[in-house]
Structure 1
Amino acid sequence: MERQISLRRLFEDLRGELQWQCLCQPGEENYLGGDLLAEGDAGGAALVGFFNFIRPYPVQIAGDCELAYLRAHPQAMEQFLSPNLRLLIICEGQTLDEHFYGDLNARHIAAMTTPAAAKGVLARVQHYLHRELAARQQVHGVLVDVLGVGLLLQGEVGIGKSELALELVSRGHRLVADDSVLCIREAPNILTGHCPAALQNFLEVRGLGIVNIREFFGAAAIVRSKRIRLVVEIRDMSDTEMANIDRLQGKVDHLDILGIRLPRLCLPVSAVRNLAVLVEAAARSQYVKESGGDMLADFEAQVLQNVGEE
């Protein structure tokens, strides 16, 4: 389902930052949705821009240059106030004459005024709408920040994901979200994980109950969002499955979330395996891979070199 945001919410969220005021109050029915014609992941950012004759933006930014052009070319006013226009943001302390103001009211176009520079307002509103209208999906799991790498821990219910997250936090790492992770596609290849507001700071540990991580370990043990770089699946495996795991590189495949392929590492769980240490090693390994390193290739080259010397 296409995401939408009301103009009233946009006004309230950015009012303090942009110091704007309403000239024409947005109605209850005034909503902005993702731009279906936008290329790639422009999404909400493609809804905002300066005056465009060919393809008018639903949210138009008007500063000194734009309003000066309209005053010099009144015949362009009809194109400027296109049926597609939902919100006009007047920047740089500019004012509207009564006729212009009357046209906005008659066409039910919301208008806001701000003393901020037009280019700055454009960048901020684009960023806001891109974030708010970006594709998102709720997934089951625990998201932790280990050594700067966002790891999504997954596995069957009761297998020990929250207990593992608690141990990682006790070792100095950070919790993002427990049980439910809100995934947002920030860019074509960037997926960030966020904690739903109702669950922030808390971790549910089977047998122990609800743990307030902020109270236990301090504010530094919590982070509101993190880019997801690796999925670690904890699995209870049979002896046969364990025997089939590649000894040199483990069991690795991919998980698709919102069209982004994330590397997924499967870690067998058992009483003798220290999962926290293994997860830390997995985070370091992912960092090395993203930096261009290939530990398996290095190992094979070292073996071949030593075999040749012998």
Structure 2
Amino acid sequence: MPSISVRRLYQDNQSKLKLAWSAGTAGADNRIAIDGDKPILALVGHLNFIHPNQIQVLGVAEVEYLSKLETGDIKTSFDELFNLPMTLIIVANNLAVPYMLRDYCHTRNVPLLTSKIESPFLMDVLRIYLQRSLAASTVKHGVFLDVFEVGVLIVGQSGLGKSELALELVSRGHGLVADDAVELYRIGPEILEGRCPPMLRDFLEVRGLGVLNIRAIFGETAVRPRQPLQLIINLVPADDDYMQNLDRLSIQSETQSILNVAVRSVTLPVAVGRNLAVLVEAAVRNYILHMRGKDSTKEFLDRHTAVLKEENDAHENRTD
């Protein structure tokens, strides 16, 4: 099950959320993880005794409530609060931390952070962050590119020229996301995001040239840190028999399931004389048209059927 430590959350968001440690540093390695079937968005919320969040956020109303606990005006005790299953407490809005809360966090090893940011914005940022950090993931072998702002994963057996194809597409103005190992994360019910492992970032291996630094050769705009996956290009070896038996007017839309998300896929035969870069660009343009409700193959077949019907009607009229 994906999880991250409180320490990692603090390091990744310290600057953006203006976070500071207040107490409970011994709990820095507490893990934040998906709780059963609960959505990731439910991991963060304002102080809740009924459905406690792993990350309990205190705004103005919550700090006032805890201040009343300190004075004994409310029967609920701090012991009851710290019997709740929680991993982290954040006091937002640049509010002063109640003394007893700091003391309990210290003795119970519950990390206590403060933030100068207002609690609604802080929770929105953390929910988006956790959605990315705790997303279900897998690794696919291939090359992942941004082609016309569409995330394209090029896959196929070794030796078919995936990296050479990627290099040509980059030289035509498209962007490289990852080569060889592509990390795919499900960041939404039907959204996959592709990223590059840090060690491989910016690099593309091309047979005969070795490892190329694409950012250094082509500039900053030639690489992308991440991109939603929308289209898979399957490269397959082809000979004359394969090309002759290919169904040229097939209108079936192929899909491939990754992390239970259906992704549209296209199979491109690799044969001598075929310009694969142009074919990939055409496949992406055709995908964009499909998303806009325009199916070129179906339009051709409909037009062909209409012409045949007109010729048949004309023949029947002449016969009559």
Compute the TM-score of the two structures, normalised by the length of structure 1.
0.92
For the aligned residues, what is the CA RMSD? 1.8
Residue 50 (str. 1) matches residue 35 (str. 2): no
| SS of residue matched to 1:23 | strand
The letter for the 1-side match of 2:27 is G
Please report how far the alpha carbon of residue 239 of structure 1 lies from its aligned counterpart in structure 2 after TM superposition: 4.0
User: Match of 2:138?
Assistant: 137
The letter for the 2-side match of 1:75 is K
User: Match of 2:236?
Assistant: 235
Please report how far the alpha carbon of residue 210 of structure 1 lies from its aligned counterpart in structure 2 after TM superposition: 1.5
User: Match of 2:61?
Assistant: 65
Which moves more between the two structures, 274-283 or 50-59? 50-59
Please report how far the alpha carbon of residue 282 of structure 1 lies from its aligned counterpart in structure 2 after TM superposition: 0.4
User: Match of 1:36?
Assistant: 36
| SS of residue matched to 2:75 | helix
Q: Once the two structures are superposed, what CA deviation does each residue of 1:64-98 show, in whole Å capped at 9, x if it has no partner?
A: 01122333463344443333111110011212332
Bigger Rg, which one: 2
| Distance in 2, Cα, partners of 1:84 & 1:200 | 38
Please report how far the alpha carbon of residue 132 of structure 1 lies from its aligned counterpart in structure 2 after TM superposition: 0.7
The letter for the 2-side match of 1:139 is K
Is the Cα contact below 8 Å between 2:239 and 2:271 reproduced in 1?
no
| Distance in 2, Cα, partners of 1:110 & 1:232 | 46
Unaligned runs of 5+ in 2: 312-320
Listed as ranges, the matches of 1:1-310 within 5 Å are 2-24=1-23, 25-38=25-38, 42-43=39-40, 45-72=41-68, 74-76=74-76, 77-249=78-250, 253-310=254-311
Compute the TM-score of the two structures, normalised by the length of structure 2.
0.89
Please report how far the alpha carbon of residue 246 of structure 1 lies from its aligned counterpart in structure 2 after TM superposition: 1.9
Is the Cα contact below 8 Å between 1:252 and 1:266 reproduced in 2?
no
Please report how far the alpha carbon of residue 60 of structure 1 lies from its aligned counterpart in structure 2 after TM superposition: 0.5
Which moves more between the two structures, 237-246 or 121-130? 237-246
Unaligned runs of 5+ in 1: none
Is the Cα contact below 8 Å between 2:195 and 2:225 reproduced in 1?
yes
| Distance in 1, Cα, partners of 2:26 & 2:121 | 22
* Alpha-carbon spacing, 1:79–1:307, altered in 2? closer, same or farther (3 Å): farther
Is the Cα contact below 8 Å between 1:151 and 1:230 reproduced in 2?
yes
User: Percent identity at matched positions?
Assistant: 37
Which moves more between the two structures, 95-104 or 119-128? 95-104
The 4+ residue runs of structure 1 with deviation greater than 6 A are none
| Distance in 2, Cα, partners of 1:105 & 1:260 | 44
The alignment of Structure 1 onto Structure 2 pairs a total of residues equal to 305
| SS of residue matched to 2:294 | coil
| Distance in 1, Cα, partners of 2:152 & 2:144 | 6
The letter for the 1-side match of 2:46 is F
Q: Once the two structures are superposed, what CA deviation does each residue of 1:273-303 show, in whole Å capped at 9, x if it has no partner?
A: 1111110000001111112222222222222
